[in-house]
Structure 1
Amino acid sequence: MLAGTAEARTLRYATGFPPGSVAAQAAMDYAEALPGYSDDTLSMKVYALSLLDASETSDGVRDGIADVGYLLTVYFPSMYPHTNLVNESSMQLTQFDEAELQGKGALAFNAAMAELTFFNCPECLDEYAAQNQVYTGNAASSDYGLLCNKPVTNEAELAGKRLRVAGSHWSRWSKHFGATPVSMTINDLLEALSQGVLDCTISSAPELVNLRLTEAVTDITMAVPGGVYAAASAASVNGDTWRGLTDDQRRAMLRAGARLSAAVPYGYLEKEKEAFAAAEDEGATRHEATASLEQASKAFAEQDLDTIVEYYRENHGVERGEELLATFRGLLEKWVERVGDVDSLDALEQLYWDEIFSKVDASSYGMQ
């Protein structure tokens, strides 16, 4: 399609999550919203775990196999270090009082991540541009805990376990408590847990049903390590596709991006109870972590913020790590307060749109 026209177009959206998962359902919601926001000049076909898997999404969107993709940047540490650095500070959510968070930490962290990326982290946007991608939405999980095939509730039980991790911060957490971190894509978790290659995955509870982990998980301890996964460019658009849209169509993509950005974390929070019930129906047991493990985990999370800065400076050349985390902390505190009154997906979408996405200039953003 020639730039500047308003010709109707169907975009291809790829996610490595399977049909029925929170991410796939949110993608369908995103696709359903797009025609209305674009005056029916844009539509979208969702490919859930069929066009690209999680490890293929970055290159696949870059090369135009998909027009838009659900990109998990943790799988590509050298490509997206600034995004990953901020994401890996997510255990700082354990430093907030539960009365402040009201169970909505994921909604706040996701918003802060989006605002930082759009307006305070040009390096993040440059990383996407280097892969011929344009960032138009973020996604976050609910809280991360231990989904295991044996009980793990204290430091002694953690020692020696093989834990799948989704970031270097959880890798350091695992090593700190004597466990062995393992890097693995979401598409391999069920088999690894079933065959005993892994003892646990550090994941959010909805992955029990999203990824059918109820077939392998027998013991669940959610109090540790905490944090969320928010390094998901949930609507990463191929650069050529983006530049081929009109200003109005790009604005429509951003408007739909606010919808997707709200739908993923909101969907994760809503699916937690269903996931726990499904696991318990399969015979899984939920455990509380010992008080000593919880306290030790929170202490680790606090001191690890400095380690994150040094890690990304030494391993990936990130020079503004301390400044980025300080800026992000201010945004996070603001958003913890802002999402407190949110009581519906529509309200969250509107809040994200009004306070973040509507402020992006669709005529110039991503056009370089």
Structure 2
Amino acid sequence: MRLMKKWLGTLAGAGMAAALALGAASVQARDLRYAMGFPPGSDSDKAGQAYAAEVKKLTNGQLNVRVFPLSLLNFAETSAGLRDGLADIGYLLAPYFPAEYPHFNLLAESSMQLLTMDDRVRGREGMAYVGALSEFVFTKCPECQAEFAKQNQVFTGPAASSPYYLNCNKPVRNEAELKGKRLRVAGSHWSRWARAMGAQPVTMSSNEALEALKQGVVDCVVVSIPELTNLGLLEAVSDVTVQVPGGIFAGTGVTQVNSRVWKSLTKEQRQALLRAGTVMPAYIPYVYHQREKDVLNLVTQRGGRVHQPDPALLQKTRDFAAQDMKTIVEFFAKTHGVKRGEEMLAQFRPVLEKWVGLVQGVDSREKLADLYWTEVFSKVDAGAYGL
């Protein structure tokens, strides 16, 4: 009888220990709310789901990222909402908030310099820019890091689009047709381009662009081709003119983490978020470049037209891009107090040129993510970064 009681007591103790271990594991499991302004089913939503899966895998289920596409915060709400803890992770479009992120926006809005680079960058603009921007922000831009910290955020990776083109409700192929047109733009460089071409820039959230185009508030939306399906713009666009204005949207902190949340994580969990942080920076530009042709085919299948720009407009655009590197420095100095803009862009150019070479031959988003990890993200000290 005494042996039976001892055996039962041992069994009970083991059961209690197992229960306590299970309870401890469940306490460690933690949900992180990820807010993005793109709608469900968009390319960015799919990229976000891939990021969430990678976080769960790398943390053995300790962190569970719940993606809220266009439901928790829209693009215009993300900066303040993430700062105030309404979301734990956010898809930040920094050009929407020029005063809060001027140094990061200076780098992001210099993307039209891609027009003046060699032909190796064509079709890989976003992939090269993400690598260069990641490296520069992590290692050479303390001002960028200070801007994020002031907004209670930690930068864990950018994303970038394929090139931005004219998506209109009427043909806009030359400077005469462009004159007086109202263009929805998403950055000061595109605003300057519009004015230089005789058009009128209009600033609004991409969440508002469809209604603005349908109601005639704007004549064209300057976005990348995949956004025609991602944002539902396809139903209002009849004419696409490729190659102009060019440049890409690179002002994205694609997985910005709330600072308090970041500091509450273990070093291993922060390392996992950095490793998972390569997923969306690779997924978005790679998929955007791959989908351009398919979406343009959808435009023509729906009765729309795809135009090449008049050679004179294309040349004037390239001339604008070349001289705008000086203008952008002056603009950010005068408007936002950026003091070393010229130095930053001089340092950034060789980094970008290096990445144009590095992304050659990359033929999958997985290989692109591995390249970002090896060259940049793996070198970030998770034991000190953002703390």
TM-score, with structure 1 as normaliser: 0.97
Aligned CA-pair RMSD: 1.1
Question: In the alignment, which of 134, 139, 158 is matched to residue 114 of structure 1?
Answer: 134
Equivalent position of 1:270 in the other structure: 290
1:267 Cα deviation (Å)?
1.7
1:309 aligned onto 2:329: yes
Deviations 1:24-57 (A, max 9, x none): 1110110111111123211111000000000000
> Who wins on radius of gyration, i.e. which is larger?
2
1:11 Cα deviation (Å)?
0.7
Equivalent position of 1:147 in the other structure: 167
Using the alignment, how far apart are the partners of 1:143 and 1:340 within structure 2? 17
Between structures 1 and 2, the one with greater helix share: 2
Equivalent position of 1:320 in the other structure: 340
Alignment of structure 1 residues 139-218 onto 2, 5 Å: 139-218=159-238
Equivalent position of 1:3 in the other structure: none
Using the alignment, how far apart are the partners of 1:102 and 1:169 within structure 2? 20
Question: In the alignment, which of 228, 244, 251 is matched to residue 248 of structure 2?
Answer: 228
Aligned length: 362
Counterpart of 2:129 in 1: which secondary structure? Answer: helix
1:61 aligned onto 2:56: no
TM-score, with structure 2 as normaliser: 0.92
Runs of 4+ in structure 1 off by over 3 angstroms are none
Deviations 1:127-175 (A, max 9, x none): 0000000000111010011000011111111110000111111000000
Q: Which amino acid in 1 is paired with 2:149?
A: A
Unpaired stretches in structure 1, ≥5 consecutive residues: 1-5
Equivalent position of 1:78 in the other structure: 99
Using the alignment, how far apart are the partners of 1:222 and 1:241 within structure 2? 42
Counterpart of 2:222 in 1: which secondary structure? Answer: strand
Using the alignment, how far apart are the partners of 1:281 and 1:19 within structure 2? 24
Counterpart of 1:323 in 2: which secondary structure? Answer: helix
Counterpart of 1:341 in 2: which secondary structure? Answer: coil
Using the alignment, how far apart are the partners of 1:285 and 1:49 within structure 2? 30
Counterpart of 2:243 in 1: which secondary structure? Answer: coil
Equivalent position of 2:46 in the other structure: 25
Q: Percent identity?
A: 53
Using the alignment, how far apart are the partners of 1:342 and 1:323 within structure 2? 31
Question: In the alignment, which of 354, 376, 380 is matched to residue 356 of structure 1?
Answer: 376
Using the alignment, how far apart are the partners of 2:64 and 2:250 within structure 1? 26
Counterpart of 2:189 in 1: which secondary structure? Answer: helix
8 A Cα contact 1:163 1:202, kept in partner: yes
Higher relative contact order (CA 8 A, sep 6+): 1
Q: Which amino acid in 1 is paired with 2:371?
A: L
1:110 Cα deviation (Å)?
1.1
Counterpart of 2:154 in 1: which secondary structure? Answer: strand
Equivalent position of 2:267 in the other structure: 247
